[in-house]
Chains A and B, each alone.
Chain A
Amino acid sequence: MGYNLGMVALQGPKWFFGVDSIFELAGTIILFLVFLISYNTYKLTDMKRYKYYSIAFFGLTLGHLARTITNFAIHQEWFALEELSRMFLLGYGAHIMFTLASLVLLVSFAFEVKQKKSFCILLLLMLSMIFVSSSFYIAFYWSALIMFGFVTGYLFINARHKKALSPKMVTLAFLFLTITQLLFLTSAVNPDFYMGAHISQIIGFLVLFIALVQVKTK
């Protein structure tokens, strides 16, 4: 399991580098839209659940943005070779921290973990396990896979009881995002999965965007 971070982070055919950054940017914008809608709902209702949801999606947006910028900077060769490793660790470190914190918040929400201490312990345990791991990129995607899986399960149970289409669309979007984590994880074994992960991810975000349009046009 001694994978080097750079070995598994940027895989796939050369022509795809740059395209992945465009996909990532689109995802960042869609995550930001979910944050905006959630925050506006919080402003209208003054209910804490919308506040926490908006924080979670703001965190996901920042995490995604960190990865988008890092990948783009590497493709564009913004950094000298000696700086590359440091910038890579910084960008992906921010991506991992923001994404994990946001996912822990979403999972806590799904399982109604109301105590802040429980949330903090869960987050600290996860971050410490990932950062002491010899292959923290793999450990991160494994953790993300589990958490996206649980959130998808929660959304699936929610959608079963709803007549509207948007809960089903959101569940489908999260299912694609769960598959994305699995593909990123396996891209260490087969580089083609890196491209598959980005395609699965953009499909997930597009489905999420359609669900948001349905919400906004109500």
Chain B
Amino acid sequence: MSSRRSRIDIIYDMLKAINDKGGKILPTHLLYKSNLSHKRMKEYLDQLLSKQMIEETEIKGKKYFILTEQGSKFFVNYMKIKEFTDAFGL
């Protein structure tokens, strides 16, 4: 049985989902890929938007979430962040 995901893991999974889709994703696809309830995904999306890790944009009348430079930095350094977080019990 896999252990419960931490906040850092969930953020990583969401950013990875966007990255795997070439840097932009539809909200419905993100909901499916991040494996969260609608309510929890909304909470995380608000957090990612406020921390400027993602941006909201409209392409041909459809809403997309785009990975920002800040989000990419987090994504690339995820393993280091996770190791540090685990090591110090943060």
Contact = CB atoms under 8 A, between A and B. Distances in A.
B74 A45 contact: yes
B20 interface: no
Interface of B is mostly: helix
A93 to B, nearest CB: 28
Nearest to B53: A46
A166 interface: yes
B80 A216 contact: yes
Interface of A is mostly: helix
Interface size band for B = 10 to 19
Contacts, number: 56
A206 to B, nearest CB: 15
Interface of B: 8, 11, 51, 70, 73-74, 77, 79-90
19 contacts: A37-B84, A41-B80, A44-B81, A45-B11, A53-B90, A154-B89, A155-B88, A158-B86, A158-B88, A164-B83, A166-B86, A166-B87, A167-B86, A169-B87, A211-B87, A214-B87, A216-B80, A218-B79, A218-B83
